[in-house]
A and B are shown apart, each in its own frame.
Chain A
Amino acid sequence: MNTRVVPLSRRRDWLGLAGLVLVLGTLPLWLSSPYALSTLVLIGIYSIVTIGLCLLMGYAGQISLGQAAFFGLGAYASAILTVRLHWSPWLALPAAALLTGLIALLFGLPMFRLRGHYLAMGTLAFGFIVELVLNEWKAYTGGPSGLPGIPRLTIAGTPLRTDMVYYYLVWGFAILALVLGLNIVNSRFGRALRAIRASETAAQSLGIDVARYKLLTFVVSAVYASVAGSLYAHYMIFVSPTAFDFSTSVRLVLMATVGGLASIWGAPLGTALVMLLTLGLRELVPLVGGSNSGEFQIIAYGFLLVLIMLYMPAGLTVWLTRTWSQQRPRWEQGLAVARARLAGRR
């Protein structure tokens, strides 16, 4: 038997990517508001973080409650290297990623010798430490008031000024992140991760070094967050610690969960949904007489999470694909009937 089995998901991935590129490529043509464009840039940036988080949570089965810290490390490393040391942004970005990856490696090394939910606890603490350093190490970070004057990214010597250019750049990065993520998922490495999620004992008995695979995935997710952080810094041209606090970490986990951890396709979807919901709330809450503060947001997030867990526990992506495959015969039938009627009329 010499059948070459090509998994269906692979073909579906390419179709999905083509569709995504098409939609994202033409989306700015339909939008007139600059506000919408900048929102899309941010969705792209956060998507890169959540794709990495999805690899960690969905495939390696580990929770990070400090992902905003790695996002912040990337942003601040890029900011400090360019503002204080006058590096080129294009050099600062990989340097920041390398540094953040190294920090994640050193931090993760002891964490993954332990089984269970130590990573959630550890990353929670790590997030607070990073927040503290960003606030207190004023000489370099500028403290709570932040670090302004970050240069924009340049292409061929020209700084990128418009949101439109950033939009294509950021989503280029996000699609690359998705493609590389899919490559990881569909490889020996990704299979080992899924095996670990299903049964650590069985995975180990097949020669998989469980701790090592978890650690490497953790480092990958940190590098993803760092790259997104660098893009964020050079887009906002200003960074301050509040953008990388604990509530951001929670929001990132929410984005990944809403989209669905079963597939990294869920990450951009969940990110977009949570971002739009956040913006919507910001508009709606004052209308019903509430104060425009963080508390309402947290309550709304809580509700959203509960609803998702109740009605689509596997996340939005799985729910959508399942509904699609269930409803498709009906739609196709309807289409066929309509076509027959049209033909009859002629």
Chain B
Amino acid sequence: MSTAQNRPPVMEIQRVSMSFGGVQALDDVSFGVDEGRILALIGPNGAGKTTLLNVIAGTLTPTAGGVRYRGHKLNGLPTHQRVRLGIGRTFQQALVFGEMTVLENALVGCHVQGRSELFGAVIRLPYVRREEEDARLEALRVLNLVGLGSKADVPASALTFGQQRLLAIARALAARPSLLLLDEPAAGLNRMEKNDLGDLMRRIQEMGTTVVLVEHDMELVMRLAEWVVVLDHGRHLAEGTAREIRRNQAVIGAYLGAEVA
């Protein structure tokens, strides 16, 4: 890891392999993610990028290897507990809660910060109300951050596709992640929306959040990512700065090969 600082990476992917039946989706992948950076994970279709995100988030258990996060081994830890450790994520599909309002979606994002349980909810203890009020403020804050503050009371299903994407990011931010995994956030967005998304990611980074970004849009990757990791057929093919990766012959070959195939 050619980092300037000598701090240990916030997350280390350690020799992760994942096979589904006979298909080797990930094959002995290792790399580190430095704190506060935007790291892009790229590669041709089927390279194993989303699989790796699922391994990090805890949706999938790797067949070998593991993930180390802030010194903890994450092996066997279920998704919802990883969120409590500060690992947030979004999906390729926005997966917003369509029947709920935009504000309620963001409020669900605040879930991990709350402590109120069933009992408190049933009889509406004073601290539950206070907590609810705090959550509302936090939810409005993240909605304003992504520019959806004015849509708070609209049902999420009424938002455009791009707005739903932003809502999914807001929702994940409400949990105050220190590491945010974004799975193709720009797919299907128009040029202007992509620009806004880029600005938003810069702001997220400025808040101190580390971002791992799976993305096909090379322009966006080149503009944002300080470090790029390239996967190909489940293997770690290369990593480096965006500029280095653009000139890497192996990477160019992999992409050309994918296009020919």
Contact = CB atoms under 8 A, between A and B. Distances in A.
Interface of A: 1-5, 7, 180, 183-184, 187-192, 194-195, 198-199, 201-210, 216, 220
Interface string B173-206: 0110000000000000000000000000000000
B152 interface: yes
B244 interface: no
Contacts of A191: 100, 104, 107-108, 111
Contact of B132 (A188, A194, A202): A188
Contacts of A199: 95, 97
Interface in B84-123: 84, 88-91, 95-101, 103-104, 107-109, 111-112, 114, 116-118, 120-123
A210 B116 contact: no
A198 B168 CA distance: 14
A203 B96 CA distance: 10
B177 to A, nearest CB: 10
B146 interface: no
Nearest to B133: A4
A220 B101 CA distance: 26
Contacts of A187: 116, 120-121, 124, 128, 132
Nearest to B85: A207
A198 B79 CA distance: 18
Given A5-B136, A207-B83, A216-B118, A194 B97 contact: yes
A18 B136 CA distance: 27
25 contacts: A1-B140, A3-B140, A5-B152, A180-B122, A183-B122, A184-B121, A187-B124, A187-B132, A188-B111, A188-B116, A188-B131, A189-B117, A191-B107, A195-B97, A199-B95, A202-B95, A202-B168, A204-B79, A204-B80, A205-B79, A205-B89, A205-B91, A206-B171, A207-B111, A207-B112
Nearest to B112: A207
Contact of A195 (B57, B108, B131, B133): B108
A220 B118 contact: yes
B32 interface: no
Nearest to A186: B121
Given A1-B149, A194-B100, A199-B97, A207 B128 contact: no
B83 A205 contact: yes
Contacts of A209: 78, 80
Contacts of A201: 59, 91, 95
Main secondary structure of the interface of B (DSSP, over half): helix
B108 A192 contact: yes
Contact of B121 (A190, A203, A208): A190
* Range class of the B interface residue count: 35 or more
B144 interface: yes
Nearest to A187: B121
Contact of A184 (B95, B122, B135, B174): B122
A209 B77 CA distance: 12
B144 A1 contact: yes
- 5 A-B pairs closest in CB distance: A207-B83, A187-B121, A207-B112, A198-B97, A202-B95
Contact of B99 (A1, A2, A189, A198): A198
A336 B122 CA distance: 43
Nearest to B109: A206
Contacts, number: 108
A277 B144 CA distance: 51
B217 interface: no
Contacts of B131: 188
Nearest to B168: A202
Main secondary structure of the interface of A (DSSP, over half): helix
A299 B178 CA distance: 58
B111 A206 contact: yes
A180 B123 CA distance: 7
B210 to A, nearest CB: 17
A189 B84 CA distance: 17
B61 to A, nearest CB: 14
B134 to A, nearest CB: 11
A7 B132 CA distance: 13
A180 B119 CA distance: 10
A301 B144 CA distance: 50
A201 B78 CA distance: 12
A287 to B, nearest CB: 44
A201 B53 CA distance: 14
B109 A189 contact: no
Given A194-B104, A206-B111, 11 more contacts: A1-B149, A4-B136, A5-B136, A183-B122, A188-B116, A188-B131, A194-B99, A205-B83, A205-B90, A207-B83, A216-B118
Contacts of B174: 206
Contacts of B133: 4
B103 A195 contact: no
Pick the most buried of B84, B101, B118, B123: most chain A CB atoms within 10 A of its CB: B118
A109 B112 CA distance: 23
A220 B122 CA distance: 11
Given A4-B136, A183-B124, A194-B100, A205 B108 contact: no
B140 to A, nearest CB: 6
Nearest to A198: B97
B80 A183 contact: no
Contacts of B135: 188
Nearest to B100: A194
Given A183-B123, A187-B128, A207-B112, A202 B80 contact: no
